[in-house]
Structure 1
C-alpha cells in the first residue's frame, strides 16, 4: 500500500509489480462485464445507485491506467536505465488516491446496508463510518505529501502514515463483514424458504468481505516483512478491483436472492381417524363412517422494499413483515 514509503530497492521486485498489474487487469475485465450486466438488468434503479456504479467503474478505469503507466515507466521506458529506479513516478503515488476513492464508495455503501439491517443502530454504524472516513482521509493526506517528494528514500519519512492507511484498510472491512453476519443471522424466522435466503445472503456477504480483508492484510504483512521491496503492490494493485467487484456482485445478485424469499413456505398434513366397527348381540351391524380431517396451513412471507432510500438495494428479512398464518379446515 502507500507503505511504498519503505521502498528503496525496487530493481529486484519489479516482477511483483508486473504480476500485480496482470491480476488487476483480469479483475478489471470482470468489473467491466459486471457493470454492463448491472445497467442491462437494473435500468430502473434509483439515480444514486446508478451513480455509485458509474463512479466506481470510472475510478477503476483510472486506477488501472495509472498502475499500467507505473509498470511501463520502469520496465519499458527505462528498461536499461537503472538510475531511474531510485526515483518515484507520479502515477504510483496517485493510484493510492483512486484506490482510496473506490474503497470509500464501496465501504460507504456497505455501511448504509449495516444501518438498514441493524434497525438504524447509531453506535455500530457511526463507528464503522468513522473508520471509513479516517481511512479515506489518510489516503488523501499520504497522496498530497508523497507527491511533493522525488525519491523512494525521501518517502521513508511517511512510514507511519503509510502503515496507518494499511491498517485502516483492514479494520472497516472486518467490522462491516461481522456486523452484516450478525444482523442477518439474527433475522432468521424459522421458515425454510426465508432461512435459505438468509443463509445465502450471509455466505455471499461474508465471502465478498473476506476477499478484500485478506488482500488488505496480505498487503500490510508484505510491507512490514519486506519493507524495501515492491512485493506489496502485487496485492495492493488488486485491492480496489476487489472492492468494485464486491459491490457489483452484491447489486447484481438481488434478483436471484430475492426470488428465494418470494415463494411461500407451506406445511400440509392430513389427519385421518376412524372408529372401529362394532357388532352388537342383536345380529344388527352398524358402521360408523370414518371421519377424515384435512388441515392445511399456508404461511407466506413477503419482503418489503424501502421506496424512499433503498429500493431494490438490499434484501432484509429482519424488516420483512410476516403475514399471520391462514388455516383452512374441511370436513367431508
Structure 2
C-alpha cells in the first residue's frame, strides 16, 4: 500500500522548499555582485557556476514533480520508478557540496599556509563526488528504487555520510583555528566570536539536514521523504557558501567601527585579501606636502623737496605741495 503523503506529498513539499531556497540563492548572487564588484575573478566565476548549477537543479526538481504528479497521475505503481531527472539531482547536489568544500579548504590552506591540514577534506570531498556520480549512474541504469536499494544502497549511504563528515570536520577545524587566533589577538575577540558562531551555525545546519536525510533513507526505505529532504540539501549548500561570501562586508564594518586593524583569519575569505591590499596601497602612498606661499609687502616712503618738484614740473606746483609729499610703492615678493 503506497502512502500518498509520504511519497507524493514528500516530493511535492521538498520541491516547494527547494524552489523557495533557490530564490534566496538568486537574491544572494545579485547581492554579491552589488557588494563586491572588484572581487577576485575566480571567486566571481565560482558564484556564477553555483548560480547556474542551482538553476539547473531547480529545473530538474520541477521536472521530477511533473513526472510523478502529472505524467503518472493516478498510477501508484510508478512510484517505484526513478526518473532520470531525480537521479541527476543527486550528482548536482554533490557538485554544489564539493564547490563549497573546495572553497573553504582553499581559503583555510591559503590562510594557514599548510595544505596538509586541508588534504583530508579535499580527499573526502572527492570521494563524496565519486559516490554521487556512481549513485546517479546506477539509478539511471536500474531505473527502480527497489533494485537500487538491493544492490547499491551502501553507495548512496556512503555519499551522505561523507558529506556530513566533511561538514563536521570543516566546522571543527575552523572553530579551533579561530579560537587560537582569539588568544593571540584579544582586541578582535568580538568579531572572531561572531565568525565562530556563524561558522558553527552554517555547517551544523547543512550537516543536520544531511544526517536526517540519511536516517530517513535507512529507516524508511519504502517512502520518498529522504528524497524530498535531498532536494533541499542542495539549496542549503549553495546558500551556505553565498552567505559566507556576503557576510564579509558586515564584518569589515564591525571591525572598522571598533577600530581594529588586525586581520580576520579563515572562514570569511576576502577579509584578509582586502586588508592586505589596503595595507600595500597605504605603504606606497607618498607623504602629502603643503605648499606655503608668503606674500611680503614692502612699503617705501621717501620725501621730495618742493623746490626740486617745482623746478622739474611747474604745472604741479601748488600750495598743497609745500609740505613733504609721500609716495608708497608696494612690491610683491
The residue number in structure 1 matching 2:262 is 302
The match for 1:171 among 149, 165, 173 is: 165
1:226-241 paired onto structure 2 within 5 Å: 226-241=220-235
The residue number in structure 1 matching 2:85 is 91
CA distance in 1, matches of 2:110, 2:15: 36
SS at match of 2:252: helix
Is contact 1:10–1:230 with CA below 8 Å preserved after alignment? no
Please list every run of at least 4 consecutive aligned residues from structure 1 whose deviation after the TM superposition is greater than 4 angstroms: 8-12, 189-193
Q: Please tell me whether residue 313 in structure 1 is matched to residue 307 in structure 2.
A: no
1:98-247 paired onto structure 2 within 5 Å: 98-117=92-111, 119-156=112-149, 157-189=151-183, 193-247=187-241
Kindly indicate which of the two structures has a greater share of residues assigned to strand.
1
With CA pairs under 8 Å and 6+ residues apart, which has the higher RCO, 1 or 2?
A: 1
Deviation at 1:314, TM superposition (A): 3.9
CA distance in 2, matches of 1:258, 1:174: 27
RMSD: 2.7
Classify 1:312/1:221 alpha carbon distance in 2 versus 1 (closer, same or farther; 3 Å).
Answer: closer
SS at match of 1:88: coil
Deviation sequence 1:10-61 (CA, Å, 0-9, x none): 7552211111111111111111110011111111111110011011111111
> Does 195-204 or 140-149 show the bigger shift?
140-149
The match for 1:28 among 22, 31, 43 is: 22
CA distance in 2, matches of 1:264, 1:98: 42
> Does 183-192 or 44-53 show the bigger shift?
183-192
Classify 1:315/1:135 alpha carbon distance in 2 versus 1 (closer, same or farther; 3 Å).
Answer: same
Classify 1:24/1:205 alpha carbon distance in 2 versus 1 (closer, same or farther; 3 Å).
Answer: same
Deviation at 1:264, TM superposition (A): 5.4
CA distance in 2, matches of 1:126, 1:9: 45
Classify 1:311/1:46 alpha carbon distance in 2 versus 1 (closer, same or farther; 3 Å).
Answer: farther
Deviation sequence 1:156-209 (CA, Å, 0-9, x none): 211111111111110000000110100011101576651111111111111111
Q: Tell which structure's C-alpha radius of gyration is larger.
A: 2
Kindly indicate which of the two structures has a greater share of residues assigned to helix.
2
**Unaligned stretches of 5+ residues in structure 1:** 1-7, 266-299, 322-332
Is contact 1:215–1:239 with CA below 8 Å preserved after alignment? yes
Q: How many correspondences in the alignment?
A: 274
SS at match of 1:13: helix
Deviation at 1:149, TM superposition (A): 1.7
**Unaligned stretches of 5+ residues in structure 2:** 280-333
CA distance in 2, matches of 1:139, 1:100: 6
TM-score (norm 1): 0.76
Is contact 1:163–1:220 with CA below 8 Å preserved after alignment? yes
Classify 1:173/1:191 alpha carbon distance in 2 versus 1 (closer, same or farther; 3 Å).
Answer: closer
